[in-house]
Amino acid sequence: MRLAELTPRALAVVYVVYAALAAAITIWKTPPFMGPDEPNHFKRANLTLFGEWVGHKVDVNGVLVAGGTCEPTVSQAAQLFAHIPSHVEAKVDSAMMAQAESVAWGTATDQEPFPNSAVYPPTLYLPQTLAVAAGKAAGASVIKTLAMARLANAVVCVAIGAVALGIAGRAAPYLFTFLLMPKPVFLTATVTQDGMIVALTALVAAVLGRCSQEGRGWSRAEAVVTSIALLLVAMAKAPYALFALGLFFAPVTKLKVKLTVVSLLLMAAFVWHGAMAVTVQTPLVRSDVVLDPSAQAAIVAHHPAIFVTAMARTLATQGKGLVIELVGSLGSMDTPMPGWFFPFALVVLAATAGWIAVFSAPPDWRRLVGYFGLASVIAFLIGVGLYLVWTPIGANTVEGLQGRYFLPILMLLPLAFAGKGTWEPDRRLQAAFHTIVVLAPVVSLFVLEQTLQLRYFG
């Protein structure tokens, strides 16, 4: 097929090839437990196998901490690599891998803390949970089972991404480029729920964008898929529940039906997160500072300007770092891609976003204002949450803010430009644009492999 005639379905096929290669590189070149908070996510995936659909509070030296049942050998295997994060001089060698490979699952269990992930629902961990079950049944070691869980997560995320691209319409080049950026790829091929969140928001963007592009309502299948995707994302992280409001940006159904669906989604998210806050969640603990969410909330309630100033200062001083993390800071955020890669990736991504905007001209200013307003509110809520639970009392910046938290927000960018549009580009221009879109991930794949190799193996 000629590049000028590259269809979303053809782009989906190309995506599967690239994503499979990227996932293989990530799984192979990323040492065990080097994904963001991967030991705790692995324990969460494993928890369901004990018949525990949610975590619970466990006693750690007289202090209740969110966690659950787990084999102590998981912590034993993870501890072998605990010295690597944040120490760029630390490398992995064959002796270390051989020692980790010798750690089997065993039959003993313990009540272990993993507060960051114990409150998450089991749904987005299901592929990884099934892989852990298969690894145990096959007698695989802990780290081989971890690799199986990574692979299972990648397979499902790539499948969802391919479906999204196949139905995305003119938003396909943007979603294709975004999904193949190093950070989304890394989250896809490590044990975490973040990869699934990104893939599901891509699916939502594809359905709603396509409906807007064609000026039609959604089919019954599209309504079910979109609602389920929004529900899973809303239950995963509370601020993302507001993605349900994206339904108002597309002519998918009558206003009354939209209000009903959005209300049900928000209510389900509220019930879930409320239940977790009461029954499972415990205050997070840092070794370097004392945290007191209640005191922090009291300060913010009496002096809201303190948080607003802290958020503004954080974005001003850490904005560049957040962009780097969003595009391609791998591992435990200590493995960035080369400096030249970020302008390259951002230019390509901006070009694909601009392509949607031009295609959709003239712009719908209500949709634009609505999307960016919603994005700002969600970002604000993310900042509020981190300021309350992870930031020292009265601090002048928000601590713990990471670029990956904004990936789902940007994945929904096509909703801002999803109009019918009247402009049709020249075929040569289309061919040139599609050439850039299709070839850009080749650069990313090469740099991804080199970055992981140099960071972890020298």
Q: What is the pLDDT of residues 113-147, one digit of tens each?
A: 999 899 999 999 999 999 999 999 999 999 999 99
Q: Which residues of 136-149 are buried (b: 16+ CB within 10 A; e: fewer)?
A: beeebbbbbbbbbb
Around 16, how many Cα atoms within 13 Å sit in the side-chain half-sphere? 14
Q: Are strands 329-330 and 110-113 parallel, antiparallel or unpaired?
A: unpaired
> Has this prediction a pTM greater than 0.85?
yes
Q: Would you say 71 and 110 are in contact if contact means Cβ atoms under 8 Å apart?
A: yes
Q: Which residues contact 327 (CB under 8 A, 6 or more apart)?
A: 181, 182, 183, 337, 341, 342, 345, 346, 403
pLDDT of residue 416: 84
> Rounded distance, CA 305 to CA 42, Å?
39
pLDDT of residue 423: 60
Where residue 436 falls (left for φ over 0; alpha for ψ -120 to 50; beta otherwise) is alpha
Q: Please name which of 439, 450, 185, 190 lies closest in space to residue 337, comparing C-alpha atoms.
A: 450
Q: Please name which of 240, 255, 243, 252 lies closest in space to residue 215, comparing C-alpha atoms.
A: 252
Q: Please name which of 208, 239, 265, 238 lies closest in space to residue 416, comparing C-alpha atoms.
A: 208
Q: Please name which of 243, 256, 268, 254 lies closest in space to residue 370, comparing C-alpha atoms.
A: 243
- Secondary structure of residue 59 in the 3-state scheme: strand
> Rounded distance, CA 383 to CA 392, Å?
14
Q: Which residues contact 182 (CB under 8 A, 6 or more apart)?
A: 327, 328, 330, 337, 345, 444, 447, 448, 451
> Rounded distance, CA 342 to CA 94, Å?
32
Kind and range of the H or E run holding 218: none
> Rounded distance, CA 311 to CA 163, Å?
37
Spans in the chain with pLDDT lower than 50: none
Q: Please name which of 38, 47, 37, 50 lies closest in space to residue 67, comparing C-alpha atoms.
A: 47
DSSP string, 319-341: HHHHHHHHHHEETTTTEEPPTTH
pLDDT of residue 5: 66
Token pair listed for 19: 């994503």
Kind and range of the H or E run holding 56: strand 56-60
Q: Please name which of 218, 212, 224, 201 lies closest in space to residue 254, comparing C-alpha atoms.
A: 218
Token pair listed for 272: 């879930």
Amino acid (one-letter) located at 419: G
Q: Please name which of 116, 118, 186 lies closest in space to residue 157, comparing C-alpha atoms.
A: 186
